[in-house]
């Protein structure tokens, strides 16, 4: 029944039908994560990296009420330029489709739609989580609930460092979501390799990672897997510098009463300004790094 709302790009559809490796990509990073034209340039480079590493990219979005699994270059450019794109999470999806709107998919929504299209590997920058001060605001990302229910492996550079990393890891543990560090024992914190928190388990090869994920789903242990892939050291920001920028951005958000779905784009933009653009470059490089690993994992899963 859901097929009536979805258009799958012919190259993506062919790859899925032939059992070839496919990697899902979100679109919020295009519409809300970076300024134009850097957002479009980055999105196209991510797709190129996935192709170069032997997989088929499938950027996901909603355009004029139609779910698109795999965007054209023109559609990516349109998303990057438009100011009328709705940041679309699970709760928003049916409304955006019914109203014929344009929507950029969050981690949660990308997982939902990738799973419907039978795509099992998804690359993003960082996952959402428990926001700082959540004991009062109850601000917890829908990403965590989706990870608890949807069978998609999410390659990320850890939890966005603007969040409460410790509480996010506790929440994922409660939901039975394994957090696996790729060649790391420590949970990366988006812009930096360090967070002060440990991952649940470490793996050092894509073959071991694919085997672990396959066993999880073979045992009907429904839910996703967080694959924490640290930003390359040469692009990692100083832990103290980025934390100072985050604290400054959080204070401004609080003083302006900014909350809900708009707070993450606001904070990322503010941190970019405070760090004079260095955080944006780190953001781009960690996504490229995740794309390489995502393509390799998709290939490894094909042969499991």
Percent helix, strand, coil in the chain, to 5, is 50, 20, 30
Which residue from 106, 81, 107, 109 is spatially nearest to 5, judged by alpha carbons?
A: 109
Decide the pairing of beta strands 56-63 and 22-25.
parallel
Which residue from 81, 66, 59 is spatially nearest to 2, judged by alpha carbons?
A: 66
CB 56 within 8 A of CB 302: no
Residue 160 is a catalytic residue = yes
Preceding peptide of 37 cis, ω within 30°: yes
Catalytic residue among 68, 87, 120, 160: 160
Which residue from 70, 63, 61 is spatially nearest to 23, judged by alpha carbons?
A: 70
In three-state secondary structure terms, 135 is helix
Residue 74 is a catalytic residue = no
CA distance 119 to 163: 28
| Residues forming the active site | 26, 160
């Amino acid at each position: 029944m859901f097929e009536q709302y979805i258009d799958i790009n012919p190259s993506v559809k062919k790859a899925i039908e032939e059992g070839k490796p496919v990697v899902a990509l979100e679109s919020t990073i295009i519409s809300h994560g970076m300024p134009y034209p850097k957002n479009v340039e980055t999105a196209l480079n991510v797709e190129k990296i996935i192709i170069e590493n032997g997989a088929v990219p499938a950027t996901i979005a909603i355009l004029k009420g139609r779910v698109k699994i795999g965007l054209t270059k023109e559609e990516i450019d349109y998303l990057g330029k438009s100011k009328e794109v709705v940041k679309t999470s699970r709760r928003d999806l049916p409304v955006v489709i019914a109203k014929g709107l344009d929507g950029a998919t969050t981690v949660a929504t990308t997982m939902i739609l990738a799973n419907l299209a039978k795509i099992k590997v998804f690359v993003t920058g960082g996952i959402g989580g428990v926001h700082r001060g959540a004991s009062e605001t109850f601000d917890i990302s829908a990403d965590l609930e989706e990870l608890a229910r949807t069978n998609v492996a999410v390659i990320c550079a850890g939890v966005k460092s603007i969040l409460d990393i410790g509480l996010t890891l506790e929440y994922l543990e409660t939901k039975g979501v394994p957090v696996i560090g790729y060649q790391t024992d420590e949970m990366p914190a988006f812009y930096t390799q360090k967070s002060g928190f440990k991952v649940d388990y470490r793996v050092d090869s894509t073959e071991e990672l694919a085997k672990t994920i396959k066993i999880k789903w073979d045992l009907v242990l429904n839910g996703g897997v967080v694959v924490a892939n640290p930003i390359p050291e040469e692009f990692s920001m100083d832990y103290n510098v980025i934390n100072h920028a985050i604290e400054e951005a959080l204070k401004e958000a609080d003083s302006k009463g900014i909350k809900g779905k708009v707070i993450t784009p606001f904070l990322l933009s503010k941190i970019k300004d405070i760090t004079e653009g260095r955080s944006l470059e780190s953001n781009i490089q960690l996504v490229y790094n995740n794309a390489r690993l995502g393509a390799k994992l998709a290939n490894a899963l094909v042969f499991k």
